[in-house]
Amino acid sequence: MRNIWTIAKREFNQYFVSPAAYVVAFVFLLILGIIFYGQLGGTVVYGGSPQVVQWVFGPFVTLVLFLTPGVTMRLLAEEQRSGTMELLLTAPLREWELVIGKWLAAFAFMAVVIFLTSIYFLITNAFTTPGLDRGTILAAYVGFLFMCAAMLAIGVFTSSLFVNQIAAFFATMGVSLALWLVGFLFQQETGVVADIVNYIDLSGHFYNNFYTGVIDLSDIVYFVSITALFLFLTTRTIESRRWR
Amino acid sequence: MIEVNALTKRYGQRTAIQDLTFHANKGEIVGFLGPNGAGKTTTMRILTGYMPPSEGQGRVAGFDLLTESFQVRKRVGYLPENVPLYPEMTVIQYLDFVAELRQISGRQDRVDEVMEQVRIDHRAESYIGNLSKGLRQRVGLGQALLHKPEVLIMDEPMDGFDPQEQIEVKKLIREIGQAQTVMLSTHILAHAQELCDRVIIIAAGRIVAEDTPERLSAQIAGGGRIHLQVDGDSHGLAEALGQMPGIVAVQPAGKDGRFDIETAPGVDGRAKIAQAVVNGGWSLLELHRDKATLEQIFIELTKNDNGEAPAQPGAAA
Ligand SMILES: Nc1ncnc2c1ncn2[C@@H]1O[C@H](COP(=O)(O)OP(=O)(O)OP(=O)(O)O)[C@@H](O)[C@H]1O
Ligand SMILES: [Mg+2]
């Protein structure tokens, strides 16, 4: 268990060694800021109640589809490319500790970026009476974190399949986008297959509930399951590689 | 302590090592010697618990390689070939990370101690990516020593060191080898000869010889080259010696009456040559036989009957 912390701590610090993390965080906040500013201005001019959750999380969710692959692409692919994996696998470290540690680092980094968006809510709150509904905002944040956890787990998994970071990036993006869009295929249909596909669809679990300020246990179960499944698959991938 | 029995490792169809049986005792430095692709790295990866063998079993530091790999990994220090490290960490950050991973108590002191031992303390704050190859090798060695391993396994540890540094590292390895079990691989024979108590020669995935460096040299002492020097006139000497049984060839070597004499395998011939020289009226200055170097043994053992380089292990299987 302590090893998870050791791995996660090193990996988390690595994000801040290169300027890439700062650049990415800055660009994201800038884009979100522009959209937010436009929406806020419109509300001020034309009236209406501020829909901050939608203003922020609407565009953010799209950006995150591109951000998570970038956050996870290095995690295992680079260890495999540079050969440092050999030292990790000959240390008294279990595969699942390594995998969870890596994922945890990515999640912590993501949480920092997500946390920074709270500035938009604080700003709007200052201009609104009687203030924003805290419950709705909190629900959106919780949901968003769970969703990111699942997408990062997918990224950790694809990173374990490659030695090339760029390949890992695009594979993660492909899998995430597919999961995100798969619901479109069966939007109008009913039946068992459609139900299953709609359950697997990532976006539905976000838009239908968290986005509107509702926490549904079934969505949390879904995101936790996806996370667990992909982290398990990653562990098995690394284990099986020893036997080749 | 290392003890393995009939280790075999296949990568798909390719057999990398076959039926390796050997051991290494506490306080012993064992050298693993072989040409490129012989299976040295493969064997070491099995010994360090990186991957299991396809067949065979073994114990390292008292634990089974297959069923108790975790316990083995706790007790083994490993310096992989090419020393993979994190370039964007400083030396001290990296060693601290490894110490934490190995759950060493008194981490900071131990890291300082090891940095001094491998003499990297003057670069503690440097990024590993900015270090020279030799310095990186020291960091790799430090990483392997942090937890005071019972068994130290090093894949080509001399690689990247200049001759001056090699002397220091050899001293360090000898020190460690007094109390622990050390196994190292190299294709430089002089290193094995100097460092190791025992040498295992491996070619095409099989052990071809195993002994002390001295006895390996003695093993092919018969059959080789004799150096002869006579004083003054040496006219007719080559012809006279060439007639003798057991002498394959006599070649003048330089001007001052020197000759290289090749004898048939298993024939010493020095006594007879001395007699013939004296009886023929020449004045004998010097007569000695080359001691076979590990180099010669190596070439001898790793070539097949046709005198060609060893066949690929995959092709042989
Ligand atoms: N991961 C792998 N997949 C397939 N074949 C491999 C793999 N690793 C090694 N081999 C093959 O196994 C054989 C032994 O390789 P190994 O790396 O153990 O040799 P070595 O003695 O360490 O050589 P060198 O002196 O060049 O380091 C070689 O034929 C090599 O091509
Ligand atoms: Mg090798």
Q: Is residue B80 part of a domain?
A: yes
d(CA A159, CA B175): 42
Inspect the interface and report whether the beta carbons of A17 and B88 lie closer than 8 Å.
Answer: yes
Domain count, chain B: 2
- Closest-CA residue of chain B to A95: B70
What residues of chain A lie within 8 A of the CB of B11, using their CB?
244
Indicate which atom in ligand 1 lies nearest the CA of residue B40: 21
| Listed residues B185, B218, B251: the one ending a domain | B218
- Ligand sitting nearest the alpha carbon of B155: 2
Which domain CATH number covers B19?
3.40.50.300
Q: Is residue B264 part of a domain?
A: yes
Indicate if B190 and B231 belong to the same structural domain.
Answer: no
Indicate if B131 and B275 belong to the same structural domain.
Answer: no
Indicate if B36 and B127 belong to the same structural domain.
Answer: yes
What residues of chain A lie within 8 A of the CB of B50, using their CB?
86, 89-90, 242
Q: H or E segment at B19?
A: strand B14-24
Q: Is residue B301 part of a domain?
A: no
- Predicted ipTM of the assembly: 0.89
Indicate if B42 and B145 belong to the same structural domain.
Answer: yes
Indicate if B134 and B280 belong to the same structural domain.
Answer: no
**Torsion angle defined by CA atoms of residues A144, A147, A153 and A159, in that order, rounded to the nearest 10 degrees:** -80
d(CA B195, CA A211): 68
pLDDT at res. B291: 64
Indicate if B58 and B156 belong to the same structural domain.
Answer: yes
Indicate if B197 and B227 belong to the same structural domain.
Answer: no
Testing ligand 1's pocket by substitution, the residue of B10, B11, B45 carrying the most ligand atoms inside 8 A of its CB is B11
- Give the helix ranges, DSSP H, for chain A: 2-15, 20-46, 52-72, 74-82, 84-89, 95-116, 118-127, 134-161, 165-181, 192-200, 202-207, 217-242
Question: Which pair of structure tokens corresponds to residue A106?
Answer: 């990515």
User: Domain segments of chain A: what residues?
Assistant: 2-242
Indicate if B186 and B38 belong to the same structural domain.
Answer: yes
Q: Is residue B96 part of a domain?
A: yes
Per-residue confidence in pLDDT tens, chain B, 317 aa? 999 999 999 998 999 999 999 999 999 999 999 888 899 999 999 999 999 999 999 999 999 999 999 999 999 999 999 899 999 999 999 999 999 999 999 999 999 999 999 999 999 999 999 999 999 999 999 999 999 999 999 999 998 888 888 898 899 899 888 889 999 999 887 888 889 999 999 988 999 888 888 777 666 555 567 888 888 888 888 888 888 888 888 888 877 888 888 877 667 788 888 888 888 888 888 888 776 666 666 676 666 545 444 444 444 33
Best mutation site among A90, A94, A96, A239 for testing chain B: the one with the most B CBs within 10 Å?
A90
- Residue B241 domain boundaries: 222-289
pLDDT at res. B238: 85
Inspect the interface and report whether the beta carbons of B98 and A91 lie closer than 8 Å.
Answer: yes
Please give the distance, rounded to the nearest whole angstrom, from the Cα atom of residue B200 to the centre of ligand 2: 15
Indicate if B123 and B178 belong to the same structural domain.
Answer: yes
| Listed residues B170, B187, B218: the one ending a domain | B218
Which domain CATH number covers B267?
3.30.70.100
Closest Cα to atom 24 of ligand 1: B36
d(CA A156, CA B314): 35
Residue spans of chain A under pLDDT 50: none
pLDDT at res. B125: 95
Closest Cα to atom 7 of ligand 1: B11
Q: Is residue B65 part of a domain?
A: yes
B103 touches A2 (CB < 8 A): yes
Return the DSSP state at B161.
Answer: -
Question: Which pair of structure tokens corresponds to residue A139?
Answer: 């629900």
Q: Is B38 in the pocket of ligand 1 (CB under 6 A)?
A: yes
The contacts of residue B71 (CB under 8 Å, 6+ apart) are B61, B63
Indicate if B232 and B176 belong to the same structural domain.
Answer: no
- Closest-CA residue of chain A to B13: A244
d(CA B141, CA B143): 5
| Listed residues B218, B250, B275: the one ending a domain | B218
How many other CB atoms are there within 10 angstroms of residue B235's CB atom? 8
Q: How far is B48 from chain A (nearest CA, A)?
A: 6
Q: What are phi and psi of B125, to 5 degrees?
A: -95, 0
Indicate if B25 and B119 belong to the same structural domain.
Answer: yes
Q: How far is A74 from chain B (nearest CA, A)?
A: 13
Give the gyration radius of chain B's Cα atoms: 25
- Identity of the residue in A6, A90, A243 whose CB atom sits nearest the CB atom of B78: A90
Indicate which atom in ligand 1 lies nearest the CA of residue B38: 21
